[in-house]
Each structure stands twice: as C-alpha cells, then as structure tokens.
Chain A
Amino acid sequence: MAFVNWLKRHLVVIAGLLTLGYLLLPNIVVTVFSFNKPKGRFNYQWQEFSTDAWKDPCGVADMCGSLGLSLQIALWATLGATALGTMIAFALVRYRFRARGTINSLIFLPMAMPEVVMAASLLTLFLNMGAQLGFWTILIAHIMFCLSFVVVAVKARVMSMDPRLEQAAQDLYAGPFQTFVRVTLPIAAPGIAAGALLAFALSFDDFIITNFNAGSTVTFPMFVWGAAQRGTPVQINVIGTAMSIIAVLFVVAGMVISNRRARQKA
C-alpha cells in the first residue's frame, strides 16, 4: 500500500521523466554509434567499439565542406535576421502606426506555415525570376524564416523594459543616440542574443527549405539526407555528438553568467 501511495504521489514525475527519456534516447544512440565500426555502408547496427571516426572526423569526402558552408550560411543568416528582426521588434513595441494587425500577421505567418509550402512557393518565385539557385537563394530563404523568431525573442525583452530608464538618461542630457547605445541596447542585449542564437540554430539545422532552394549546393543537413540514401558514415554521428556537446556548453555558460549577474544585483 505504501508503494501504491508513493507511486500515486510521484506519478507526474515518473511520467515526465519517461518523456524526457524519449526525448534523449536518440541523442544517446547517436553518441554511442559514433564509436561504432559498421560492416556495410549503413551505421544502423552495432558491430564493435572503435574510435576511428573520432580520430578522422573529416575522413568522408565533401562532409566537412558542407559543414563549413552550413556554418557560413548560418552566420550570415543570423546577422541579417537579427538586424532586421531587432528593428521590427523595436518599432512594434515603441511606436504606434497604421496596419499593425497586418504587420503582426505577416510576422506570424512564416512561423505558422509548413516549411514545404514556404519552400515550394519560394522556389516558384526563384524559377520565375530565373535566379541561379545556390548560396544566395539559400541565404535569402534562411533570413526570411529566421526573421520572425528574432522579432518574437527581442520583442519579449523590450516589452519588459522599464521606459523610465530611458527617460532618466534623457533627463541627464543624453542625446537620443547616446541613450540608445548606452541604455537601451545593453538592456535589450539578452533578448537580441536569444534571438540570434535561435536564428543560428534554425538556419544551421534547416533541411526542407534548403532542399528546395539549394540547386546543386550541398549544406550539412543535405549531406546527411543524401547519406541516408547512399550510406551513412560514422563521421555524421561524430559531428552530431560534437554539436550537442558544444551547444550544451554554450547553454550552461550562458546560465552561469546570468546567475552570476543576478547575484551581483542582489
């Protein structure tokens, strides 16, 4: 009976942790299989332990090239989307203007539209314009779908800002430019950083929209897609594992910094 009671009290916790397991299981498999030594072309079955792939992560033709291209695109897309998105976010929070509802919908719809639809329609535009598919069409597409996510992240932060801080700066004879650079921007920075990080992750990992608009250019997700048809090298798992380690380090570092800041304030 005691056990049943315990179970009843912790049912939510157990169910939640099981879901977390479901979420993490593929990552564990990816990591474990980065030490595999597969027999055939595909890395789906465990054979024997080996660190070959870790010693030679770029040993697969074209993989590291595609990785570099993806990083490059993600970097530029992040820059573009963050700049454009931050401006929109400030306009939305700070000013009244006409056609607000239309603009809100225009920003929301790219987040609500299935990627296939955006990808296919953008391709019809590029085909109609006779544009050469490749680096630039991918970049244009990535800035387009990252933009809205940046707006959301920055807007949340700017909305929670105390407008009196800027008034105080102006009372102390700071000009509009000085107020913006010395007061507004530092306060908005965490929101902008969050938006940029999200844009980077979205762009780097995008497959569907890129697949439609890349022509013969191969980004890392497209390389993985191709590999899924031809044969999956272990190095893919090495990159996947390394990516999640780097990401977790980033997140943990961010948390430590913000915790320290919070303690300093207190």
Chain B
Amino acid sequence: MAAVTQAPAPPAPAAPRQKPPRKRGRLTPYWLLLPGILWLVVFFALPMIYQASTSVQTGSLEEGYKVTWHFVTYWDALSEYWPQFVRSVLYAASATILCLLLGYPLAYLLAFRAGRWRNLLLVLVIAPFFTSFLIRTLAWKTILADGGPLVGALNALHVLDVTSWLGWTSGDRVLATPLAVVCGLTYNFLPFMILPLYTSLERIDPRLHEAAGDLYAKPVTTFRKVTFPLSMPGVVSGTLLTFIPAAGDYVNADLLGSTDTRMVGNVIQTQFLRILDYPTAAALSFILMAAILAMVTVYIRRSGTEDLV
C-alpha cells in the first residue's frame, strides 16, 4: 500500500542516524500509539472476533442467537454459495490481469516518456477518484447500453459473437453479462494498479536502460531483463491492491450485472441486510477474510512488515 500514497521523496542526506538523547519519554511512543491503536483494536480487530463468534451461533432474530459451535453453517454456506465464490475469484483475477495489461503501459508512459506532461497526466489519472465511484460506475450503463454505439460497433465487427460463444456476453447485449462486470471492476481498480507500478518504475535509474542498450540489448530484451524485474515490487503490490477489493466488491456486479453474475459480496450483503441470516453471512465473510489473510501472509513472508505501511 505504501506505494500508493507515498510521494517519491528523496532520502535525507546521509545523516548520522543517532537520535537525540531523551531523558524522559520512554513511554512517549506508547502514548502516541494508544488512541489510534485502541481505535483499530476495538473497531477493526474486535469485530472480526465477534464475526467469528456469530458464524458459529444458531437461533433466530426473535429468540436471539447463542454460540452452539454450529460449524455446519460453514459447510452449508460453502455448498450453497460456491458458485459465487468461484465467480468472485474468476472475475477478480480477470480484472487484475486486465488492470496489469492496461495499467503497465500508462505507468511506463508516466515514468519514462511523459517529460513535462507528467504532472498533468498524473492529475488525469487521479482526478476520476474524486467523482463518486457509484456515479462513474452508473456511467458504464450508458456506455455499454443495448443498441448504443459501442455495442453496435462490437456487433458489427462480430466481436460479440465470439464473446457470446465464450459465455462472456449473451446475444447482442453487453450489459448484465460477466463482461460488463469485469469491465467495471477493471475500471474501478485500475488506479490501484497504476500508482504502485508508477512508483516502482519511477525509481529505476534511466542509465540502466542506456547500459542495456550499450550492451546490444534490443528494447524488448531491455524490458524483459531490466525494466520488468525491477518493477516487480509494484506489480506485486498493485496485484494485491486490485485483486483484494475486486474479490469483495458487490457494487459492479449489482449495477452492471444480473442475477447470474452475483459475487460473494452480493451474497454477504443480501444475507446481512435483507434476509438477516447473520450466521450464514458471518460465515461467508469469515471465509473470504481467511482467504485474503492467507494471501497477505504469503506476501508479508516475502517482504516483511516494515514495507507494509
């Protein structure tokens, strides 16, 4: 995440890293940490425990719920909603790959080719962020509308025949199909891919490119052997930052999809807010959390906790 917000600040000139001696203040860090960390413990960590407990409760809204270690809820939830889980992973993975393919050229352009246009282009990448994402997602309804210019063009070029055959679209519609949902997910999380990629590309010394050229590497070879490996930190954090929110999203599936494109987020939302089946919703949410935590743990094993924040 660090890569998203941190402006590439030049490191301080090699100053002696010793700290001024502090007589009092052994407790100072704890006082500084206390309110914020307490907030996170009470309103982030504790709710996770409550959720875990809710997932093994049985009962009803009228009679109240009791912890009965009813683990069957997990089994029931998985066997009923596995298609939504699979769909979430598939859609999120497709969106992440698309984000990488679309985002890399733009990040590269920003880092190496933009020159004096760089700041303007950066503003244009960040600017959409400031219009409510729901309004922007609704705009895709207009863009992908049935019989609209885009769908008409795709139809004329017989692209939709191919995508229908693959099961991504149905008939001559794009809206309310998997393609529309993936398109919306890609659009919504693209900046989360571009910014970490940009920060890691921007740190690459351009002289490395010259050196590769001097050693008779073709541009493609330079990219494969020098640029891409050096941008790996950006690729990894961009992938995480795109995949995780995309896997939990339900807004795109709801606004641009149909009942056949429901993702696990939709199920959690409906169970929690409409059907009021709290144990099932909590179990589903817990499974999603566990899957994400496993991914993040692998990531932390590779890069340590200091790089996280």
Contacts and interface: CB of A to CB of B under 8 A. Distances in A.
Interface of A: 12-13, 15-17, 19-20, 22-27, 29-30, 33, 44-45, 84-85, 87-88, 90-92, 94-97, 100-101, 103-118, 120-125, 127-128, 140-141, 143-144, 147-149, 151-153, 155-157, 159-164, 166-167, 170, 194-195, 198, 201, 204-205, 207-208, 211-212, 220-221, 224-225, 228, 232, 236-237, 239-241, 243-244, 246-248, 251-252, 255
B37 A106 contact: yes
B139 A124 contact: no
A244 B142 contact: no
9 contacts: A17-B109, A24-B124, A97-B33, A116-B249, A116-B250, A125-B47, A156-B7, A170-B20, A244-B127
Given A94-B29, A144-B44, A208-B250, A112 B145 contact: no
A109 B296 CA distance: 9
A23 B187 contact: yes
B81 interface: no
Given A125-B43, A144-B40, A26 B143 contact: yes
Given A124-B278, A232-B138, 9 more contacts: A20-B106, A20-B121, A87-B32, A87-B36, A108-B296, A148-B309, A208-B250, A244-B131, A251-B123
Contacts of B106: 15-17, 19-20
Contact of B309 (A12, A104, A194, A228): A104
Contact of B248 (A25, A115, A161): A115
Q: What's the interface size class on B, roughly?
A: 35 or more
B35 interface: yes
B13 A162 contact: yes
Contacts of A220: 132
A41 B93 CA distance: 35
- The 3 closest A-B CB pairs, nearest first, are A114-B248, A247-B130, A16-B109
A121 B288 CA distance: 12
B141 A44 contact: yes
B6 A27 contact: no
Contacts of A25: 139, 143
A108 B251 contact: no
B129 interface: yes
Contact of B139 (A26, A103, A104): A26
Contacts, number: 311
A110 B190 CA distance: 20
By secondary structure, the B interface counts as helix
Contacts of A251: 123, 126-127
Interface in B1-47: 1-2, 4-7, 9-13, 15-17, 19-20, 28-30, 32-33, 35-37, 39-41, 43-47
A156 to B, nearest CB: 3
Nearest to B41: A106
Given A25-B143, A149-B5, A167-B20, A128 B35 contact: no
B102 A19 contact: yes
Contact of A45 (B145, B244, B288): B145
Given A22-B187, A44-B141, A116-B288, A27 B32 contact: no
A101 B305 contact: yes
A33 B33 contact: no
B128 interface: yes
A120 B278 CA distance: 9
Given A109-B296, A112-B296, A20 B5 contact: no
A30 B102 contact: no
B273 A212 contact: yes
Interface string B223-254: 00000000000000000100011011111000
B287 to A, nearest CB: 10
Nearest to B255: A228
Q: By CB atoms of chain A within 10 A, which of B29, B250, B255 has the most? A: B29
B100 to A, nearest CB: 11
Given A24-B124, A124-B54, A208-B251, A44 B145 contact: yes
B289 A205 contact: no
Given A105-B305, A117-B285, A152-B309, A111 B135 contact: no
A157 B9 CA distance: 7
A42 to B, nearest CB: 8
B248 A106 contact: no
Interface stretch (B71-79, B206-214, B264-272): B264-272
Nearest to B134: A224
Contacts of B162: none
Interface in B55-94: none
A115 to B, nearest CB: 6
The listed residue with most B CB atoms (<10 A of its CB), out of A121, A208, A220, is A121
